[in-house]
Amino acid sequence: MSRKLNLHLIQWRIVPGEIKENLDKAANMISSAEPGQGSMILLPEMFPSGFYYENLAKMADEYETVVQWMGAMASRYGSGVAGSMAVHRPDGVANTMVVVDETGHIVAVYDKIHLFYVADEDKHFTPGRGTEVAAWHGTVLGLAICFDLRFPEMTRTLCESGAKVVLVSAQWPKARVDHFRDFIRVRAMENQMFIASCNSCGDDGKGLALGGGSTVVGPSGEVKDVLGQEEAVLTVSIDLDEVEHIRESFPVLKVRRRDIFGD
């Protein structure tokens, strides 16, 4: 019997600094997706507030409110919820991906390691210090955020940690959305895993157009489904057993030269 996981990627234009408006928008879109028991809802990067640098600390002050909202969504639909937000840390504010289970409890947090210096993330956020995976209904989920996709060693580390699916929250610009799609496919192919990446769309409030294109890719690199540039929900049912099937039928990971390249 195959093991299915239903993924719901919620893509919308995030309004900078307007937490209530963003949470209300997301709630309405989640409702339209009608998530079922045990499914996973994936939200974009910095989904409650966008990159509202003007008052980032205030956005981070709302962490508990946002997590309570995530818990309420999770409990209502019996689903997991994942997405990134601003979180206070002892040395500053982190861009943190949070995963809650269907009871509303936090099961994993990941602070973004690779900060996108072109957009001054390194001037406003403190970087994470390690990767993170989450146990989810008998499988392992890896966590990543946007710019992390450009670094193959990160997804390889998640693979080595047992991840069969990597969830990515993103705010990837329209100008480089082809890179976004290519990186998702390549990271999935080279690690023979599923990658689900949820991007935002529309104008970011500072004149930058975000690319949408939220995508789910399978372990052979096949695109399971992809959105365009408009606000929409992408629902994809994946067969988790496909990962082991691909790895057994084409076992490239087994012949890695660890003696030369290490882990």
Q: How far apart are CA 59 and CA 96, in angstroms?
A: 12
The pLDDT of residue 1 = 43
The pLDDT of residue 65 = 98
Q: Quick one: DSSP state of residue 130?
A: S
Active site residues: 45, 112, 146
The pLDDT of residue 2 = 56
Q: How far apart are CA 161 and CA 118, in angstroms?
A: 30
**CB proximity list for 94: less than 8 A, separation 6 or greater:** 86, 87, 88, 111, 112, 125, 126, 127, 128
Q: Spell out, as residue ranges, where the chain has pLDDT lower than 70.
A: 1-2, 263
pLDDT digits (tens, 9 = 90+) for 132-178: 999 999 999 999 999 999 999 999 999 999 999 999 999 999 999 99
Residue-range domains of the chain with CATH = 4-253 (3.60.110.10)
Write down the pTM of the prediction.
0.97
